[in-house]
Structures are given as C-alpha cells and as structure tokens.
Amino acid sequence: MHEEAKHTITAIPEPPAPEENSEFAALDVAARAFVDAAGGLRVALRDDLVVRAAPIARRLARRYRDRGEPLEDLEQVALVGLLKAVDGYDPERGSFGGYLLSTVSGELKRHFRDRGWNVRVPRRVQELVAQVSHASARLTADLSRRPTVAELAEELGVSADEVAEALASASAYRPVSLNAPLPGEDNGELVDSLGMADRGMGGVEDRLTVAELLCRLPARERQLLALRFYGNQTQTEIAAAMGMSQMHASRLLTQALAWLRDALLSEDPVQWRAGRGAPDPDRLAVRTRIVQGAVLVELGGELDRDAVDQLRRALGTAIRLGPAPQLRVDLRAVPFVDAAAIAAILAAGESARRAGMRLSLVGARPYVAQALATAGLWPFLAGGAAADGDVPAAGGGAPGNRAGSTRRAGREVAVGQEPPTNHQAVGSTAHTALPPATGV
C-alpha cells in the first residue's frame, strides 16, 4: 500500500479525555455563563468563550499534521468545529470541554473523509480502507509477514473482493504525480514512461480489408496498383512496362481505385466490375454484315484482353460467312488495342488467308494504327472510314501502283508499303458511335 496513503487513511484516534484542570474548569464556567446570558451580553460572552477555547482547537489540529493536509487548513477546520461546539452546547449533557473535544475531532475527521481524497470514492470504501489498514498492521505484527487478501477478509468479516477494492482505492487518496521522478533515473519523470496512442492501429483493419480486396482484382489491375503504389512508377512508366497507352493505364487505375473505395465502404461483399455497370461478357460492340461481296465487321470499344475472346468469336464468325474476297474490319470506334487483341487479329488474318479472303483493317485511329503497324499488321491497314459501298481496292489500285491505295478526304495511304512513322497519321480519325451490336 502506498506509504502516504497508509498514513492518511488511518482512522483518526479519539483524543484522550480532558483532565480536570483549571483551563477546562474555566471553559465550563464561561460556557454556562454564555448559555444563561441574553441580549448584548450573550454576544460578548460568546466571543470570550471562542477566544478562550481557540488554543485547544489549534492543539487538536496539530495532532493531524503531516498527513497530507496543510496545517493552516486543519486549524481552520478545527475553528469551524469550535464555533459549532459553542453554538450547540447544552449544559445538561455534560461539560463543555468534553463536548468541545468531540466536536472538533469529528470535524477534522469529516474533513479528511470529504476533502482529503483527490479521487472521490464512496464513504463505505473509505471506511473499509481504514479498517483494512488497521487489520493489516495487526496481522503483520502477529504473522511477521504481510497478510494476504484472504486473511484480511477473514479478519474483517468481509469478502475478498471488497478487500481488493479497498486496497485498490487506497491509492486514490494521493495519486502519484506524473512529474514524479522515475526510480533509478536522474532526469526521467513518470510521464516519460507512459505509452502513447499508436496512430497506425486505426489503419490495421483498413489494411487487412484492402489486402483481401486486392485478391479479388484481376491480375492486370493488381500489377498496375503494385507498380503505382509499391514501385512508385509514373503512369507513363507503367504503360511502357505493360504495353499500353498512358491514357489506358490511367483509366484502369481509376477504375481499380474506385472499385476499392466502394468495396471498403460497402458492408456486403463486392465483386469486381470492370468499368461501370454490371459485368458483360459481350462488352465489345460488334456488327457484322455483307457489303458488296465483302464481309464487314464493325467494332466498338477497347480491344484488350478482357474483350479478346469476343473478338476471336466475331472474326471467326465473319470468316465462316464466306466465301468472300475480303474480310474488312472497321476500327473507327476502337480507342485502344493491346497485345492480346493484336495476336487475335493476326490469327484471324491467317485464318482468312487459308479461307481465300484478304484481311483489311480500316478507319483506325492514329494511336491504334501505330500499334497495329508496329506489331506487323501494316500490310492490312487501309485508310478511310468504312461506309456502305466503300470497299478499298486490294492488290491493284490506280495504274502504276502495285501495292494499291485508298483515297479518302484528300489522304492516300499505300497498302503494302513501309509502316508509317510516329508523325504520320494513318487512317481517318473520324469516328461515330456504333449502333448496338448484332450477331450474325
């Protein structure tokens, strides 16, 4: 038990009975005269009685010094008890000296009980703390050791839980200051040993949730996020590493982060949605028709690995619609093409050749045309937008041009010549929205 609390919680002993001496005899005479007086004389006798009894009250206050309370405060409390004793004295109940001692001592005890505790605890616990302190002193002397909680409970006739509560509450009388020096250290204080709130604890749940959600993303999106947030790469570097445009990498990152944000805020499990809306196995818009003996396939949407299966099916269906001299693929509404889609187009070109058809890629935007040309598909590129009845020539255009060409809006792109450079616009940049896809 705390040493200071041990002193302060000990019950205040009753003062000894006053000796029959001249001081107390004089107080009794003055008290009786005050009680019997009336009018202005009563006020004067009251003041005289207070002055005579004040030294006794101060002596009682000094008995309780060095117990955690300033002596000046104790003397003030004792004088308050003196005034209560003077005003409440009844000669028929005994001498004034005995009544004075009991009243002042009670006032001092009440002060320690109500004002001495820095942390307020119930009165029942305060009294039990004093009883535990006395019982602990007795048992320590009898057993030559500190008593256990069970032994204290048996001695006091209370439960072990109540004794434990009293022992824990004893430290509430005078809590240790946070600026108290640490034992064994010269400059350290108690406040230096207290822990602080870990700011990272609040994000543990979020990090675990994000780790679980990342496992639900496709491999491409996981790689994008890893390169961006773990590899600290820019979107341009990510696009170069993954074989796509910077715009497409930015779009995929935005979609993945938006999905992660929605999944974190949702209470129900959220499935991955590529782009907006519900997942659609036919996300690529496809329209296939026969125009002047050529099979025309109009595509709309991004040609990436998510749409490559649908692209293969669409081109395979168009080849089976033959025999026709030409398989014409309209790329006006295709903003992006990746390596998987290019491989599918190469395979479709080989299948069309074996079926006796010639592949022609028309209306490609500059970036798409550049990607196709770099991949080796430049012999199949043709300029101009695809319209009904507008089928470019193949293998022989204007006289003297062996490779053939297609004219559209003042542009001429040779088919079968060297691939265009980065600064050359290949194909028409005009594009319009396609109607809903219709399979053939």
Among the listed residues 272, 321, 273, 281, the one whose alpha carbon sits nearest the alpha carbon of residue 297: 321
Residue with the bigger pLDDT between 394 and 227: it is 227
Q: How far is CA 418 from CA 134, 332, 375, 382, 415, in A?
A: 107, 22, 13, 13, 9
The mean per-residue pLDDT over the stretch 24-39 comes to 83
Mind listing the pLDDT tens digit for each residue in 148-172? 989 998 888 989 898 888 888 776 6
Q: Give the percent of the chain with pLDDT over 70.
A: 75
The mean per-residue pLDDT over the stretch 90-106 comes to 86
The mean per-residue pLDDT over the stretch 32-59 comes to 86
Domains and CATH numbers, the chain: 3-114 (no CATH), 123-178 (1.10.10.10), 205-265 (1.10.10.10), 285-414 (3.30.750.24)
Residue 17 clears pLDDT 80, i.e. is over it: no
For residues 220 and 256, what is the distance between their CA atoms, to the nearest angstrom?
10
For residues 283 and 300, what is the distance between their CA atoms, to the nearest angstrom?
9
Mind listing the pLDDT tens digit for each residue in 320-377? 887 778 889 999 888 888 888 899 999 988 988 888 888 999 988 888 888 888 888 8
Q: Strands 405-408 and 326-333, how do they pair?
A: unpaired
Most confident of 187-191, 335-339, 392-396: 335-339
Least confident of 82-86, 122-126, 160-164: 122-126
For residues 287 and 295, what is the distance between their CA atoms, to the nearest angstrom?
11
For residues 231 and 246, what is the distance between their CA atoms, to the nearest angstrom?
16
CB half-sphere exposure, 319, CA atoms < 13 A: 21
**Average pLDDT taken over every residue of the chain:** 75
- Report helix, strand or coil for 39: coil
Least confident of 7-11, 156-160, 190-194: 7-11
The mean per-residue pLDDT over the stretch 14-28 comes to 63
* pLDDT score for 269: 67
* pLDDT score for 345: 92
Least confident of 21-25, 43-47, 70-74, 142-146: 21-25
Q: How far is CA 307 from CA 356, 374, 381, in A?
A: 26, 21, 21
- Report helix, strand or coil for 350: helix
CB half-sphere exposure, 212, CA atoms < 13 A: 10
Mind listing the pLDDT tens digit for each residue in 238-285? 988 888 888 888 888 988 888 888 888 877 767 776 554 434 444 688
Residue 209 clears pLDDT 70, i.e. is over it: yes
Q: Give the percent of the chain with pLDDT over 90.
A: 4
The mean per-residue pLDDT over the stretch 384-407 comes to 36
* pLDDT score for 329: 92
Least confident of 72-76, 185-189, 271-275, 282-286: 271-275
The mean per-residue pLDDT over the stretch 114-118 comes to 66
Among the listed residues 429, 427, 430, 393, the one whose alpha carbon sits nearest the alpha carbon of residue 412: 427
